[in-house]
Amino acid sequence: MSLSVDTREVDGVVIVDLGGRITLGDESSGKLRKAVRDLLAQGNKKILLNLGEVSYIDSSGLGELVSSFSTASSQGASVKLLNLQKKVQDLLQITKLYTVFEVSTNEADAILSFS
Amino acid sequence: MSLSVDTREVDGVVIVDLGGRITLGDESSGKLRKAVRDLLAQGNKKILLNLGEVSYIDSSGLGELVSSFSTASSQGASVKLLNLQKKVQDLLQITKLYTVFEVSTNEADAILSFS
Amino acid sequence: MGECRRLELRLDSVISTVDAAELCAKGLAREGGYGEEQVDRLGMAVREAAANAVTHGNAYSAEKSVHFSVEMNDGRLVVKVRDEGEGFDPGEVADPTSVENLLKASGRGLLMMRALVDEVDVRNASPSGTEVVLVLHGPATEEEGQ
Amino acid sequence: MGECRRLELRLDSVISTVDAAELCAKGLAREGGYGEEQVDRLGMAVREAAANAVTHGNAYSAEKSVHFSVEMNDGRLVVKVRDEGEGFDPGEVADPTSVENLLKASGRGLLMMRALVDEVDVRNASPSGTEVVLVLHGPATEEEGQ
Ligand SMILES: Nc1ncnc2c1ncn2[C@@H]1O[C@H](COP(=O)(O)OP(=O)(O)O)[C@@H](O)[C@H]1O
Ligand SMILES: Nc1ncnc2c1ncn2[C@@H]1O[C@H](COP(=O)(O)OP(=O)(O)O)[C@@H](O)[C@H]1O
């Protein structure tokens, strides 16, 4: 199991706790995509991806994050990120994706930012 | 370079300082065999293999040590071992080769043991 | 905790395959939360299994492959190494620790595997060849494993 | 100091090849004395190169192999990943950081490679395909590297 995905709700925000690696193939990226699609289908508009336990993302995994963001946006929902490990943070810098994603280091702040 | 081999002489004992890995293929085991054969050909009778910097030996490398020992014995020379790392020591236990080799943890003692 | 990827490779019957098997198994064990000592022991055992597949099983044949996999199963790490050789009977292999064999230059690989990991199974593969299964039991709990 | 083995593998065009390339490169870099941060950066870069070889170059073809090597050369670690695909012109690849491309789901691999390791060379291989060469300069001196 490369990637674990658990969802919980706090104050109307769905927090998706991810753990492991989000990489090419081995269903890990598919899992994230499916989770976000399901949440959107259920009408959720505020999605917070908690990457605190994600040790590694490759370019394919970054693509999944971007796709989740775009799909959500197109449905009037928002996807934000929480708790990036240093390696993941570096990749957002390298790829300039930090200009796309709103990133928090604190769950309470992140939840407030949706209101 | 998997294995480095340097020789020096102290009080009539040739010390062969080995470093790296002694494993199947990639000429590493060949290097050891050749070094010992050359020393025997030059008439050396007291050979001390210093394994202090050898991080890893596989069964093929153990075979090389045993061959060096046997070849030397058959020519009236002796091969002893110095400074085994824990992993290598464990392998000598597992394979009962500690009953074959005389092993020292101190160079001066090892040199004395030849006289 | 420890995530673990499943890996399955078909490799040529060359020495680099032995290195690759060792490195991949060690890398995944490390990611799976095993401590350095267990990682090292697994690496050595995998090396012996892969060396046997390349040298004895496939005899370096360019037509034959080594089939290698690593996965975490019920919290145990399972490595499989299969060759396409003739197969052999492990019961017929001489004990390398008995006095008459101590000075032989080879014959210690299976003994080492059995001493290094928690379970070793050597079986005939179908349609031909040998499959060696090496198992490490679950990594020590986080406190011990660190 | 750091010893380093030379490794050369022919791998199938499957996802596990990407994992294997990453794990082997990281393992050898670690043995070669590189610190964990450099090891991680190399691993990520190798992953991108191998993923491109498998997906774009060989397009998962069962007839095509990925040729992978790692070696220490003049104190530098050199990784080569070659595929048997059509080749491509890296000059034609769009800049993934420009605004119109930021929301694309792909196109970040080459950028990541260039940012992660010291040297990246993408060249046409003969008779066909692409070879990507990734270079890490010498490991930091022992004090820094630990
Ligand atoms: N995969 C295999 N295919 C065929 N024969 C094998 C295989 N593995 C082991 N053997 C046989 O078992 C013997 C003992 O193997 P091992 O204990 O690993 O020591 P070594 O490889 O040093 O001989 C080998 O010499 C060989 O005859
Ligand atoms: N080995 C290769 N063979 C053929 N085309 C390639 C290869 N590597 C990269 N490319 C081309 O360059 C583009 C950019 O590659 P890259 O930056 O790695 O991003 P991505 O792989 O996400 O598309 C790819 O979409 C592909 O068209």
Residue B17: strand, helix, or coil: strand
Q: Is the pTM of this model over 0.80?
A: yes
Question: Residue C72: pLDDT above 80?
Answer: yes
- Which residues fall within 8 angstroms of residue B94, CB to CB, at 6 or more apart? C111, C112, C115, C116
Q: ipTM for the complex?
A: 0.92
In short, whether D15's Cβ falls inside 6 Å of ligand 2 is no
With a cut of 70, which residues of chain D have pLDDT below it?
Answer: 1-4, 140-146
Label residue A27 exposed, middle or buried (CB < 10 Å: 0-12, 13-18, 19+): exposed
Q: In this predicted structure, what is the pLDDT of residue A28?
A: 64
Share of chain A above pLDDT 90, in %: 83
Inform me whether the C-beta atom of residue A21 falls under 8 Å from chain D C-beta atoms.
no
| B7-26 mean pLDDT | 91
Chain segment C5-34, per-residue pLDDT in tens: 789 999 999 999 999 999 999 999 999 999
pLDDT in tens, C27-55: 999 999 999 999 999 999 999 999 999 99
Chain C residues closer than 8 Å to B59 by CB: 48, 51, 106, 108-109, 112
Token output for D124: 């046409």
**D40 ligand 2 Cβ < 6 A:** no
Residue type, A12: G
Check residues C99 and C1 and name the one with the higher pLDDT.
C99
Q: How far is the CA of C91 from the centre of ligand 1 (A)?
A: 11
Residues with Cβ < 8 Å from C74, sequence gap 6 or more? none
Classified as helix, coil or strand, D118 is coil
- Strand pairing report for A78-82 and A46-57: parallel
How would you label B35-70 residue by residue, b for 16+ Cβ within 10 Å and e otherwise? bbeebbeeebebbbbbbeebebbbbbbbbbbbbbbe
Residue C140 vs residue D121, higher pLDDT: D121
pLDDT classification of C145: cutoffs 50, 70, 90: very low
Residue A76 phi, psi (nearest 5): 70, 20
pLDDT at C108: 98
Q: What single DSSP character describes residue A105?
A: S
Asked whether the beta carbons of C113 and C47 are under 8 A apart, the reply is no
pLDDT at C2: 46
Question: Which ligand is located closest to the Cα atom of residue D50?
Answer: 2
Query: Cα–Cα distances in Å, from C32 out to A52, C70, C84, C120, C138?
Result: 18, 11, 29, 20, 9
Q: Do C3 and A20 touch (CB under 8 A)?
A: yes
Sheet strands (E) in A1-115: 3-10, 13-22, 46-57, 78-82, 103-104
pLDDT band, very low/low/confident/very high, at A93 (cuts 50, 70, 90): very high
From residue B105, alpha-carbon distances to B4, B88, B102, C94 in Å are 20, 13, 10, 32
CB-based touch B/A (3+ pairs, under 8 A) = no
Q: Give the percent of chain B with pLDDT over 70.
A: 96
Comparing B83-87, C88-92, D1-5, D99-103, which segment has the lowest mean pLDDT?
A: D1-5
Residue C39 backbone phi and psi in degrees, to 5: -60, -45
What is the pLDDT, as a whole number, of residue B80? 97
pLDDT of residue C143: 47
* Average pLDDT for A39-49: 96
- Ligand 2 pocket, residue D13 CB under 6 Å: no
Two structure tokens written together for A58: 């490759």
Of C60, C65, C93, the residue with max ligand 1 atoms within 8 A of its CB, to mutate for a pocket test, comes to C93
Q: Whose CA is nearest to atom 12 of ligand 2?
A: D93
Domains of chain D (ranges; CATH) run: 5-137 (3.30.565.10)
CA–CA gap between residue D65 and residue D80 (Å, rounded): 13
Q: What would the pLDDT profile of C102-136 be if each residue is shown by its tens digit?
A: 999 999 999 999 999 999 999 999 889 999 999 99
The reply to whether residue D20 touches residue C9, judged by beta carbons under 8 angstroms, is yes
Ligand 1: residue whose CA is nearest its atom 10: C56
d(CA B17, CA D34): 24
d(CA D25, CA D43): 6
pLDDT of residue A31: 85
Tell which phi-psi region holds residue D74, choosing left (phi > 0), alpha (psi between -120 and 50) or beta. Answer: left
Express each pLDDT in B58-70 by its tens digit. Answer: 999 999 999 999 9
* Contact assessment for residue D81 and residue D68, using Cβ atoms and an 8 Å cutoff: yes
- Name the residue of D88, D108, D122 to mutate for ligand 2: max ligand atoms within 8 A of Cβ: D88
D20 touches C at CB < 8 Å? yes
C1 pLDDT higher than 50: no
Tens-place pLDDT, residues C56-67: 999 999 999 999
Nearest ligand (C-alpha, residue D57): 2
Q: How far is CA C144 from the centre of its chain?
A: 25
Query: CA nearest C72 in A: which residue?
Result: A1
Give how far the C-alpha of residue B78 lies from the chain's centroid of Cα atoms, to the nearest Å.
10
Q: What are chain B's domains?
A: 4-112 (3.30.750.24)
Pairwise CA distance, residues A98 & A101, whole Å: 5
Local confidence band at A115 (pLDDT 50, 70, 90 cut-offs): confident
